[in-house]
A and B are shown apart, each in its own frame.
Chain A
Amino acid sequence: MSQPVRMRHMPVRRSPGLTALGLLTPAILVVFGIIVYPMIRTAVYSVTDVTSAMQTSAPFVGVANYATALAGAKFWSSMGRTLYFTIVSTSLELVLGLGIAGLLNAKIKGQWLLRTAVVIPWAVPTIVSGALWKGIFNAQYGSLNAALTQLGLIDSYKVWLGSPFLALNMVIVADVWKTVPVVAFMLLAGLTSIPHEVYEAATIDRAGPFRTLWSITLPLLLPSISIVLVLRIIEAFKVFDVIYAMTRGGPANGTMTIAYYTYTTAFSDQNYGIGSALAYLIVIVIAILSAVYLRALRRSEMSLL
């Protein structure tokens, strides 16, 4: 949008390249100064047989670690669970986030109360949220059991985190509660940027509310939706904190996502070589997802790219 035009009164005569270099050097140092060497180092680990952090020389094993990782049944089952977690949590967050964004954008009384309520789960730290939901789902004293029995919906207390697949879905519930606010805020950003005249035109054309939503709001919101979607997919694919706080991968590996599996391989099993290979497999999958993300960014109205 705002192309920095060369002005007669530009104060700095230096080339924009030099100025940019000066302005960006601190950020580049702070970010890439920290991550570049570890990235390379992990890549090296992933092709060597490292079993101790203190090991000075490790034999080169080529793609053997990747082969071992890909051959493991646990790899594919964690990948499958991670995909399930990603797809279900992201779609729930998108649908609910759209609804909440619509409510936040609506002219209703008590909007401040709504906004305050929505901002709270966003601000609660992930580990606290995980510990809280672990308490809510507890089989002996959990408030979900208490509420459902007192409402007469269930007869006896249930073990919500006790069976593998149910536990995974319960973790998704906790993740959705924590994450839906930020999705709603980002979509609200898109909603408020839709000009009013578009809706006035729709009213003149006697379009009903659903027709307006389907033919006007959603298409105009598409750039925001795709950005939010891909950001969330990347984040969900890396899910670790909420798993650690709620189930630590259990029961019976039912919530063992790929990031958690990598963590246990590298740290509990002390298998750094395979752990590093797994980490890079995550990077590869996320990079594929990110290609979609960057394309979505470019297609949107963002002039940054």
Chain B
Amino acid sequence: VKRRVWARIGLYLAAALTVVVMLAPFAWMVIASFQTQAELVARPLPWWPQQFYPNRYISLFADPKNDVFRSALRNSTIVALAVVVVSMIVGILGAYAFARLRFRFRRVVLMAFLFTYMLPQIALLIPLYLILSRLSLLDTVTGLIVVDCSLVVPFVLWILSNYFLTIPSELEESAWIDGASRLGALLRVVLPSARPGLFAAGMFAFLLAWDEFMYALIFTSSTASKTIPVAIAEFSGRYSTDFGLVAAGGVIAALPPVILAIVFQRNVVSGLVSGAVKA
């Protein structure tokens, strides 16, 4: 019995340590974003703002010199939402085919999608640049949406195919008996019971698109299409002495995905749970 008590204590200690290590860096970024420059460089460093200093947030949202940041926020939102919508529609249809249909070249096609994961973006960068420039899609949100979708769709396909496999096909078959078409059964029977998988795939798609850096770095050049990661990278290069400003920008850039991840954490985990192994 005593050994069990110690095991429980050890378990809780490990859990507490994990919580601290996972939270501390992000927490410090939030705190630093509200501290004055004088506090940030003080030794010993105060771990809590001596005075509440929200000026950096005001500057990020109001100062004309931070135009890039505000437009980046807008561009990232448009790109991420469009990528989620496109890749989910395309992914649901494709994943349904992989999970439910036996057809020739099924394996080859599936392998081809998995292969794209192994391709480094850098191998496509120069030709893509030339194509986008010829189509006048350089430095546009549309251009980014197009190239980002090619990164995100294989992921969505993988997560959703696996999840669809866990849904018993009897459900659909009874819908067919009731006269539903294949598409009708997919929409009304399969999708509602695939909710965790859909959330997981949607979250992954959003994070990948919000996070995407290399394409945005090369293909964007102005407020018309620069995204949040590009803006933050520029900030962190330009204001390396003003960490508070970088921190404030980082907090705002991280908030949308962090809030989504916290809200949907249960779905994300269970969507992967059934998706990653069982199938």
Q: Which residues of A contact B (CB under 8 A)?
A: 1-5, 7, 9-12, 15-17, 19-21, 23-24, 26-28, 30-35, 37-39, 41-42, 45, 53, 99-100, 103-104, 106, 108, 110, 113-136, 138, 140-141, 143, 146, 149-150, 157, 177, 181, 185-186, 188-190, 192-193, 209, 223-224, 227, 231, 234, 238, 240-241, 244-245, 259, 262-263, 266-267, 272, 275-276, 279-280, 282-283, 286-287, 289-290, 293-294, 297, 300-305
Q: Is the CB of B261 within 8 A of A120?
A: yes
Which of A15, A100, A120, A131 meets B246, CB within 8 Å? A131
User: A21 to B124, alpha carbons, bound, how many Å?
Assistant: 26
Which of B122, B127, B243, B276 meets A186, CB within 8 Å? B276
| Chain B residues closer than 8 Å to A126, beta-carbon distance | 211, 213, 229
In the complex formed, the residue of A with least CB distance to B254 is A124
Q: List 4 additional contacts besides A34-B149, A125-B254; criterion CB under 8 Å.
A: A7-B176, A116-B262, A300-B277, A302-B279
User: A199 to B274, alpha carbons, bound, how many Å?
Assistant: 20
Q: Which residues of B contact A (CB under 8 A)?
A: 7, 11-12, 14-15, 18-19, 21-23, 25-26, 28-29, 32, 40-41, 43-45, 86-87, 89-91, 93-94, 96-104, 106-107, 109-131, 146-147, 149-150, 153-154, 157, 161-162, 165, 168-169, 173, 176-177, 179-182, 185, 207, 210-211, 213-214, 217-218, 228-229, 232-233, 235-236, 240, 243, 246-247, 250, 253-254, 257-258, 260-262, 265-266, 268-269, 272-279
Most buried by B among A3, A30, A244, A263: A30
| Chain A residues closer than 8 Å to B185, beta-carbon distance | 11
Q: Is the CB of A128 within 8 A of B161?
A: no
Q: Distance in Å from the Cβ of A24 to the closest Cβ of chain B?
A: 5
Q: Is the CB of B258 within 8 A of A120?
A: yes
Q: Distance in Å from the Cβ of B81 to the closest Cβ of chain A?
A: 16
